[in-house]
Chains A and B, each alone.
Chain A
Amino acid sequence: MWCLVPEFSLIIVLVIALALIFDFTNGFHDTANAMATPIATGAMKPKVAVGVAAILNLVGAFLSTEVARTVSGGIIKEGDGGVLITPELIFAGLIGAIVWNLVTWLMGLPSSSSHALFGGLIGATIIGVGTQAVDYNVVAAKVILPALIAPLIAGGVALVATRLAYTITRRDVGKPDGRGGFRYAQIFSSSLVALAHGTNDAQKTMGVITLTLIAGGFQAVGSGPTFWVIAACALAIAIGTYTGGWRIIRTMGTGLTEIKPAQGFAAETSTAATILASSHLGFALSTTQVASGSVIGSGLGRRGSTIRWGMAGRIALGWVMTLPASAIMGAFAAGLALLGPVGIVLDMVIGTIVIMALFRWSRRNRVTHHTLLNDIDDAGRVVNIKKTPRRPTRHGRGDRRKVSL
Chain B
Amino acid sequence: MIDWSAFLVVSVASLFSAALLVSLYSLGLRLLTTAGRIPLVEPHEFTGAITVLSPKKAAKQVKRARKAAAANPLTPGLKRLALCAGYACFVLCGIAVLYGVYLIVPALHR
Contact = CB atoms under 8 A, between A and B. Distances in A.
Contacts of A192: 97
Interface string B1-30: 111001101110111011101110111011
Interface residues of A, number: 70
A42 B44 contact: yes
A274 interface: yes
Contacts of A150: 10
Interface size class of B (residues with CB under 8 A): 35 or more
Contacts of B29: 168-169, 178-179, 181-182
A140 B101 CA distance: 28
Contacts of A64: 104-106
Contact of B10 (A160, A178, A274): A274
Contact of A168 (B13, B26, B65): B26
Contact of A42 (B7, B10, B22, B46): B46
Interface stretch (A3-11, A14-22, A256-264): A256-264
A394 interface: no
A179 B94 CA distance: 19
Contacts of B70: none
Given A164-B23, A171-B33, A178-B32, A274 B14 contact: yes
Contacts of A257: 50
A256 B49 CA distance: 6
Contacts of B52: 41-42
A45 B46 contact: yes
Interface in A258-286: 258-262, 265-266, 269-270, 272-274, 276-281, 283
B51 interface: yes
A277 B106 contact: no
B84 interface: no
B92 interface: no
A40 B13 CA distance: 29
Interface in A328-357: none
Contacts of B46: 39, 42, 45-46, 252-253
Contacts of A184: 39, 41
A172 to B, nearest CB: 10
B68 interface: yes
A267 to B, nearest CB: 10
A169 B41 contact: no
A257 B49 CA distance: 8
Interface in A134-163: 137, 140-141, 145-146, 149-150, 153-154, 156-158, 160-161
Given A165-B26, A168-B30, A252-B46, A176 B7 contact: no
B82 to A, nearest CB: 12
A199 interface: yes
From B6, B9, B65, residue with most partner A Cβ within 10 Å: B6
Given A40-B49, A42-B44, A258-B51, A269 B23 contact: no
B1 to A, nearest CB: 5
Given A41-B52, A178-B29, A180-B40, A277 B65 contact: no
Contacts of B88: none
Contacts of A158: 18
5 contacts: A41-B50, A168-B26, A181-B29, A184-B39, A260-B50
Interface of B: 1-3, 6-7, 9-11, 13-15, 17-19, 21-23, 25-27, 29-30, 32-33, 38-41, 43-44, 46-53, 61, 64-65, 68, 94, 97, 100-101, 103-107
Q: Which 4 A-B pairs have the closest CB atoms?
A: A253-B48, A181-B39, A168-B26, A178-B33
